[in-house]
Structure 1
Amino acid sequence: MLRIKLIALVICFLSAAGFAQDTVKKSHNAKPHHIYKYTGAAYHRYKIDSAAKAAQQKAAVRPPAIQQAAVNKDTVKKDTTAPAPAPANNSLNSQYQYLLSKVYHYQQPLISALWKNASDTLNINRARLNTALKKLSIQSKTIDSLNTQINAKDAEINKVDGIEIFGLLFSKTAYNLIVWGLVILFGVIALVVIIRSGSLKREATYRTQLYSELEEEFKTYKTKANEKEKKLARELQTERNKLDELLGR
């Protein structure tokens, strides 16, 4: 973008220089100052005008063949002056050298000053660009380092938030759900066991009471049986005695 701006500035300057050249040519045609070939002294416009008029008169006196030959000679001279070659490449230095070859000598200092200012501006901008690129590289490295640190911190946070059980990592939410699920399950099992144990306890109490009643009845029966046995034994002995008496013992 800077190069395009510089080329546009040079084109504008060339256009202004061409306009200035046309103006200078017109001003020279309007009021020329010539130098004597041998003495180096300048002479005024009316002398040039008088000399031009004399030349025109001589040309008018010349035959047409001589005038045509003079015109052909001027044409040959003009054709032999080939234009300056275009720059071999599109670099700024080549364009600058080509521009110097196309302008007048008195315009070359202006072009050189413009080229120096443009070169200084380009160098400053290049230095700023290099500085900005270095800062960008440093900031990119810093950003990468920060991203690495953030990833490491996230991994550590995940480890802290998680709980490892039997080699398996669970989050705190999953761990809480599992623990509370087990607590509720164990509570339900305990409640069922308590209810069942209560019913079993009542059954055991009933059986114990029944056993006690049976034991009391057995004791009573045993006592009665002993008394009946003793009574029968006494009656048996009485009958034996009676029998012995009858037999004469």
Structure 2
Amino acid sequence: MRSFFITLLVLLTGSFSMYAQSGNDELSLDAGTIESQFEYVTSKSGNYNAEGRRYEVVRAIWLDKLRGNVLDSLQVGRTEAAALSGTITSQQSTIDNLNAQLAETTGNLEAVTEEKDSMNFFGALISKASYNLILWSIIIVLSLLLLFFIFRFNRSNILTQEAKTKLSDLESEYEDHRRRALEREQRISRQLQDEINKYRKSK
């Protein structure tokens, strides 16, 4: 039984070593992410102890390769960042243009709505409510003026008729007075003539 466990432990250890070896073989400085390349360098580096300290030994060519890969990745990142910045700037410009067009469209819509809800009154745009108020005020004022002038006309007509009636009565009185005066004058003339005739006969 004990030998079985020992055999099983040896097999598991061997399998783990083979798996670790195959995993290390998949890591490379020519492919993969920067993190996997660091893992590759760490796994391939040697170590030793000196004066109670542990040192890792890494090949200089690996460090140069890793540094070049890091710089390339940084350059790619900067390029992508610049491209993204340009895209953001372009999109922001597009957004600003759309906002300007939206503001212009909104202004045009408000102007059309205001013009639709307004009336042209002596060259000025006023609301329909104000236009109706002004129009009805003018109509009421003109109606009142018309009624006033009709009243004045009727009053003047009545006064004219009264004046004509009084004038006619005055003319009638004058004609009667003239006729009576003429008759009195004629009577006095006859009396005077009679007196003259009497005087002549008495001589």
Q: What TM bracket, shorter-length normalisation?
A: 0.5 to 0.7
Cα distance in 1, alignment partners of residues 179 and 126 from structure 2 = 79
* Unmatched tracts of structure 2, length 5 or more: 1-32, 119-123
Q: Deviations over 1:27-48 (max 9, x none)?
A: xxxxxxxxxxxxxxxxxxxxxx
Residue matched to 1:13: 39
Farther-moved stretch of structure 1 (239-248 vs 110-119): 110-119
- Where does 1:79-98 land on structure 2 (aligned, <5 Å)? 79=51
Cα distance in 2, alignment partners of residues 110 and 122 from structure 1 = 18
Cα distance in 1, alignment partners of residues 80 and 86 from structure 2 = 10
Percent of residue pairs bearing the same amino acid type: 11
Residue matched to 1:225: 177
Q: Deviations over 1:100-120 (max 9, x none)?
A: xx3444xx7777666655554
In the TM superposition, what is the alpha-carbon distance from 1:194 to its structure 2 partner?
A: 1.0
Are residues 173 and 242 of structure 1, via their aligned partners in 2, closer, same or farther at CA, if it must alter by over 3 Å? closer
> Do residues 207 (structure 1) and 159 (structure 2) align?
yes
Residue matched to 1:194: 146
Cα distance in 2, alignment partners of residues 111 and 135 from structure 1 = 35
- Where does 1:31-42 land on structure 2 (aligned, <5 Å)? none
In the TM superposition, what is the alpha-carbon distance from 1:132 to its structure 2 partner?
A: 0.9
Residue matched to 2:25: none
In the TM superposition, what is the alpha-carbon distance from 1:11 to its structure 2 partner?
A: 10
Are residues 177 and 148 of structure 1, via their aligned partners in 2, closer, same or farther at CA, if it must alter by over 3 Å? same
Are residues 183 and 233 of structure 1, via their aligned partners in 2, closer, same or farther at CA, if it must alter by over 3 Å? same
Cα distance in 1, alignment partners of residues 165 and 181 from structure 2 = 24
TM-score when normalising by structure 1: 0.48
In the TM superposition, what is the alpha-carbon distance from 1:239 to its structure 2 partner?
A: 0.9
- Residue 183 of structure 1: which of 115, 118, 135 is its match? 135
Cα distance in 1, alignment partners of residues 146 and 57 from structure 2 = 115
TM-score when normalising by structure 2: 0.56
In the TM superposition, what is the alpha-carbon distance from 1:204 to its structure 2 partner?
A: 1.3
Partner amino acid, structure 1, of 2:160: T
Residue matched to 1:235: 187
Structure 2 SS opposite 1:248: helix
Between structures 1 and 2, the one with greater strand share: 2
Q: Count how many residue pairs are aligned between Structure 1 and Structure 2.
A: 161
In the TM superposition, what is the alpha-carbon distance from 1:173 to its structure 2 partner?
A: 4.6
Residue matched to 2:84: 132
- Residue 247 of structure 1: which of 195, 199, 202 is its match? 199
Structure 2 SS opposite 1:230: helix
Kindly report the root-mean-square deviation, in angstroms, between the aligned alpha carbons of the 2 structures. Answer: 4.4
> Do residues 141 (structure 1) and 77 (structure 2) align?
no
In the TM superposition, what is the alpha-carbon distance from 1:237 to its structure 2 partner?
A: 0.7
Cα distance in 1, alignment partners of residues 86 and 170 from structure 2 = 111
Cα distance in 2, alignment partners of residues 218 and 129 from structure 1 = 117
* Unmatched tracts of structure 1, length 5 or more: 1-5, 26-74, 85-101, 164-169
